[in-house]
Amino acid sequence: MDLTPTVFSIETCVEDALSPVTELAARKGLDLGYVIDPEVPPRIVADQDRVRQVLLNLLSNGVKFTDTGEVSVHVTVRSRGHRAAIVVRVRDSGCGIPEDQQQKLFQRFSRIDSSAARRHSGAGLGLAISERLSRLLGGSLRVDSVAGGGATFTFEFLADAAPARSRSGP
């Protein structure tokens, strides 16, 4: 799998990933939103399609497994040498994931064994693919959760700040 780096706005990418889950979140009465720290460069260079794919998967799962409350995205940045590590946390107030089941989340065709998971369909590929894409993007994907206490998925990837736009004209 090859990466195709492009210049893009992380804010637009987050909004594009939120768009497909907005209707379901509204039907469930969930609050859905995002915060981007001011230190995050307004335009970055990375594979926008892969970043959006991971975000969409995390948001879809968050909305799917949350019956009340919220699903939120928080984007921060930290320096990692000459590149920036963009850190995206997708937090939900859903059913949570027992600690002994969390590693199964990132294995292909594996699903956790809980009543909430059994209520929802899926092949068990989304998080495995997202984890692989995270590594391909120079980062990682991890989960922090307790049963009944929601979940926070932290997706990290490397990006460069986009060069300033040049002004053309006389």
- Domain ranges for the chain, please list them: 6-161
Per-residue model confidence (pLDDT) at position 99? 84
DSSP string, 98-142: -GGGGGGGGSTT----SHHHHHS---S-HHHHHHHHHHHTT-EEE
Partners of 46 in beta bridges: 6
Per CATH, which fold does 6-161 belong to? Heat Shock Protein 90 (3.30.565)
Can you give the length of the chain in residues?
A: 170
Per-residue model confidence (pLDDT) at position 103? 77
Partners of 92 in beta bridges: 71, 151
Per-residue model confidence (pLDDT) at position 148? 86
Q: pLDDT per residue over 77-90, tens digit each?
A: 998 666 899 999 99
Distance CA 72, CA 107 (A): 25
Examine the pLDDT at 122 and tell me if it is beyond 50: no
Please give the residue that has the higher pLDDT: either 98 or 118: 98
Give Cα separations from 118 to 87, 101, 161, 163 (angstroms): 30, 14, 42, 47
Please name which of 82, 97, 75, 81 lies closest in space to residue 156, comparing C-alpha atoms: 75
Residues 13-32, mean pLDDT to the nearest whole number: 97
- How does residue 118 score in pLDDT terms, banded at 50, 70 and 90? very low
Cβ atoms < 10 Å from Cβ of 112: 19
Helix (H, G, I), strand (E, B) or coil at 166: coil
Examine the pLDDT at 1 and tell me if it is beyond 90: no
Distance CA 96, CA 90 (A): 13
What does the block give as tokens for 18? Answer: 């939120």
First to last CA, the chain: 43
